[in-house]
């Protein structure tokens, strides 16, 4: 408004006229100038000289022009005022539109976050029940009943207890006791006791497995929680509602009871409990997770503390799910010591991710956690098959678990037991009826081309145009010539062996005869790939690019833009390259394959996974040369094969989750 007021034109008023000064004229007489005495001062006469007569028309013209300019300025000012009003109106409309967009975006975020927030609240309530038990407010029996009550009424509980964090334990307990109606429970209660969980702590494949499987199981109606050591280097950014329970939880170790701090929180909708030793505080206050001389003591302490916490908190899970040798000691601990402390209905399931890591120790060390060495140092229990003077911790987990799941995406049960068990073949063969094979999965909420936020254009089986856009974008990004007919081959590795290097050289030599572009990417975030540097000099070419380092957006674009993805193995639980390649419409080809294909890729007379059978019938026996030939010579067949692969579901929610759910059902029926 100040700008508008300052621009208003005030009508012009002429200044007051000054008194006219008499004009002195010099008259001439007879053609000559008169003398000074003859100068005639004509002050009272109306006569003026000629110059005075010319001045009035000029002044009139000036006034006319001035008045005309004044009218023009007034006219322009009116237009300016109108333009400012229009601009102000546009700005108001723009702000209203921006406010509406922000409102819609907020509603969208709220809609997306609502299920997650509900699940987080649900877990906050369950963890508060744990706190009530440790504080002595309720008995373990009542705690078990309250947990069942909450589990049976997830939806209605979310509405009634929507402000859990703002209420005291006493207030929540009073409301829970009034929340009486129950429905029949359908899902299982599973407690993972493990040493890794993404994104809190990730070393190998265990971290993504625990998180991926837990989320998938909860989506199917099961209740899943995780118990971890409280490492000093945990990434706690994704933990919601992290809090310390105001009561110490004691556990047995080395002949004494030792106090532990208990922390609880929620990660991706999964309830998480962190155990922090007090006396043995150095156990998990280290730079690395594994690789210390006292690893047996560290993880045996954690395993016993986890079981003691489960008992004291009144939990009665259907299944305690343990992982690798680090928590395999829970098998004998549970059945020899813990089961009679109110867990008669609980069963134990062991998952093995690496049969080569077994942990051999002297038998007397078993006494640290309360076990009887003489009772367990026997051939049918923990005694190692090869080194009979030692106990084998992983073997003990196999013997004492009700079910054993071995993670292998492509190997059959028979192949694993007889050829890939690293000395455990005798034990696994005795217990083969409780052994099952399960494939790894991947996170299809992050890795899905139809929803991928990193891609220049999303795509799916029914609308593949976006893949061509991604291919062109990848070629442009890497400085390749942009030709749709050029075959783009991506290679993503974590570790590179000498065999891999030689196979890569052979692949490049064969492909140079065809119009092929190669992208070789090393993931330093996971493992050093310095050996890839050995390929730089011999493979310098306009159609080869080397990329090193972790770049999430770039990784997504490589999968989306590539026609073929070279992988080290079809069993890739860490990078999950084959699974992601299939989802993004790129053919996974093993770099260590040859023109003769895989021999006995699948033993058809033994148990195998759906993933193994699918890969065997499509890309498992295919070399890079055969793949390039089929793309060139039979494009329609190739396209059909790619689209069939994209329609398959190999995420955590699919076969991996189903096999574990079946295993839980089997052990509960024992």
- In this predicted structure, what is the pLDDT of residue 6? 44
Residues in the chain where the model's pLDDT stays below 70: 1-55, 104-118, 152-165, 178-186, 495-501, 511-513, 523-541, 592-606
**3-class secondary structure, 405:** strand
* Nearest partner of 402 among 341, 340, 318, judged by Cα: 318
Q: Whose structure tokens read 């549970």?
A: 334
For residues 335 and 348, give the distance between their C-alpha atoms in angstroms, rounded to a whole number: 9
Tell me the C-alpha to C-alpha distance, in Å, between residue 372 and each of 310, 368, 565, 631: 22, 9, 52, 63
For residues 304 and 388, give the distance between their C-alpha atoms in angstroms, rounded to a whole number: 25
Q: Which tokens hold the place of 214?
A: 């837990």
The sign of the dihedral angle between the CA atoms of 553, 112, 104, 467 is positive
- What predicted TM-score, i.e. pTM, was given to this entire model? 0.74
Question: Do residues 379 and 363 touch, judged by C-beta distance below 8 A?
Answer: no
- In this predicted structure, what is the pLDDT of residue 108? 56
Q: Which tokens hold the place of 510?
A: 């064969």
Indicate the DSSP class of residue 276.
Answer: E
Backbone angles phi, psi at 49, to 5 degrees: -80, 175
Question: Do residues 208 and 321 touch, judged by C-beta distance below 8 A?
Answer: no
pLDDT tens figures, 13-45: 554 544 444 444 444 434 444 433 343 434 444
Run of H or E residues at 188: none
* Nearest partner of 520 among 512, 529, 528, 511, judged by Cα: 529
Question: Do residues 257 and 231 touch, judged by C-beta distance below 8 A?
Answer: no
pLDDT tens figures, 608-619: 899 999 999 999
For residues 174 and 77, give the distance between their C-alpha atoms in angstroms, rounded to a whole number: 73
Question: Do residues 428 and 358 touch, judged by C-beta distance below 8 A?
Answer: no
For residues 53 and 598, give the distance between their C-alpha atoms in angstroms, rounded to a whole number: 118
**3-class secondary structure, 271:** strand
For residues 606 and 95, give the distance between their C-alpha atoms in angstroms, rounded to a whole number: 67
Backbone angles phi, psi at 232, to 5 degrees: -70, -20
């Amino acid at each position: 408004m100040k700008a508008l007021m300052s621009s208003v034109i005030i009508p012009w008023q002429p200044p007051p006229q000054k008194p006219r000064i008499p004009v002195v004229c010099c008259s001439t007489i007879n053609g000559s100038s008169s003398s000074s005495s003859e100068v005639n001062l004509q002050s009272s006469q109306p006569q003026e000289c000629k110059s005075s007569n010319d001045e009035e028309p000029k002044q009139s013209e000036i006034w006319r022009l001035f008045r005309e300019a004044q009218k023009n300025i007034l006219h322009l000012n009116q237009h300016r005022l109108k333009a400012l009003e229009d601009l102000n109106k546009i700005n108001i409309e723009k702000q209203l539109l921006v406010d509406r967009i922000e409102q819609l975006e907020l509603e969208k975020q709220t809609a997306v976050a609502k299920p997650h927030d509900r699940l987080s609240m649900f877990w906050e309530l369950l963890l508060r029940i744990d706190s009530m038990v440790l504080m002595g407010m309720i008995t373990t029996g009542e705690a078990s009943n309250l947990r069942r009550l909450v589990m049976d009424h997830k939806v209605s509980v979310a509405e009634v207890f929507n402000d859990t964090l703002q209420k005291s334990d006493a207030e929540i307990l009073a409301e829970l006791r009034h929340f009486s109606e129950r429905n029949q429970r359908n899902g299982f209660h599973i407690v993972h006791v493990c040493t890794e969980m993404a994104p809190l702590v990730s070393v190998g494949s265990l971290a993504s497995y625990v998180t991926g499987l837990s989320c998938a199981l909860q989506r199917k109606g099961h209740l899943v929680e995780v118990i971890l050591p409280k490492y000093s280097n945990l990434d706690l950014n994704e933990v919601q509602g992290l809090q310390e329970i105001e009561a110490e939880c004691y556990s047995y170790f080395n002949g004494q009871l030792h106090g532990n701090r208990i922390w609880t929180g929620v990660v991706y909708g999964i309830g998480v409990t962190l155990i922090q030793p007090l006396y043995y505080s150095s156990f998990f206050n280290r730079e690395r997770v594994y690789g210390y001389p006292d690893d047996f003591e560290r993880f045996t302490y954690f395993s016993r503390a986890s079981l003691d916490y489960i008992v004291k908190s009144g939990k009665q899970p259907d299944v305690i799910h343990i992982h690798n040798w680090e928590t395999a000691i829970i098998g004998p601990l549970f059945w020899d010591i813990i089961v009679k402390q109110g867990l008669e209905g609980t069963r134990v399931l062991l998952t093995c991710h690496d049969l080569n890591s077994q942990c051999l120790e002297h038998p007397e060390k078993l006494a640290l956690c309360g076990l009887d060495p003489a009772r367990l140092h026997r051939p049918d229990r923990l005694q190692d098959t090869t080194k009979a003077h030692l106990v084998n911790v992983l073997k003990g987990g196999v013997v004492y678990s009700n079910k054993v799941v071995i993670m292998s995406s492509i190997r059959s049960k028979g192949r694993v037991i007889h050829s890939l068990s690293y000395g455990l073949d005798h034990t696994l063969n005795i217990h083969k009826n409780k052994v099952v094979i399960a494939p790894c999965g991947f996170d299809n909420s992050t890795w899905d081309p139809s929803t991928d936020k990193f891609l220049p254009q999303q795509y799916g089986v029914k609308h593949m145009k976006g893949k061509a856009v991604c291919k062109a974008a990848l070629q442009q990004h890497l400085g390749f010539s942009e030709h749709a007919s050029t075959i783009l081959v991506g290679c993503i590795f974590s570790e590179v062996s000498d065999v891999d290097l030689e196979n890569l050289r052979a692949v490049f030599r064969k492909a140079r005869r065809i119009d092929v572009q190669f992208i070789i990417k090393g993931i330093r975030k996971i493992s050093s790939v310095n050996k890839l540097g050995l390929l730089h000099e011999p493979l310098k070419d306009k159609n080869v690019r080397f990329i090193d380092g972790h770049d999430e957006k770039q990784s997504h674009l490589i999968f989306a833009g590539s026609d073929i993805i070279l992988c080290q193995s079809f069993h890739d639980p860490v990078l999950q390259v084959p699974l992601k390649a299939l989802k993004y419409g790129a053919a996974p080809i093993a770099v260590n394959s040859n023109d003769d294909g895989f021999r006995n890729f699948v033993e058809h007379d033994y148990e195998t996974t759906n993933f193994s059978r699918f890969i065997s019938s499509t890309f498992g026996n295919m070399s890079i040369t055969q793949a390039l030939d089929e793309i060139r010579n039979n494009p329609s067949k190739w396209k059909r094969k790619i689209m069939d692969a994209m329609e398959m579901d190999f995420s955590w929610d699919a076969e991996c989750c189903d096999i574990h759910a079946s295993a839980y059902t089997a052990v509960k029926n024992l």
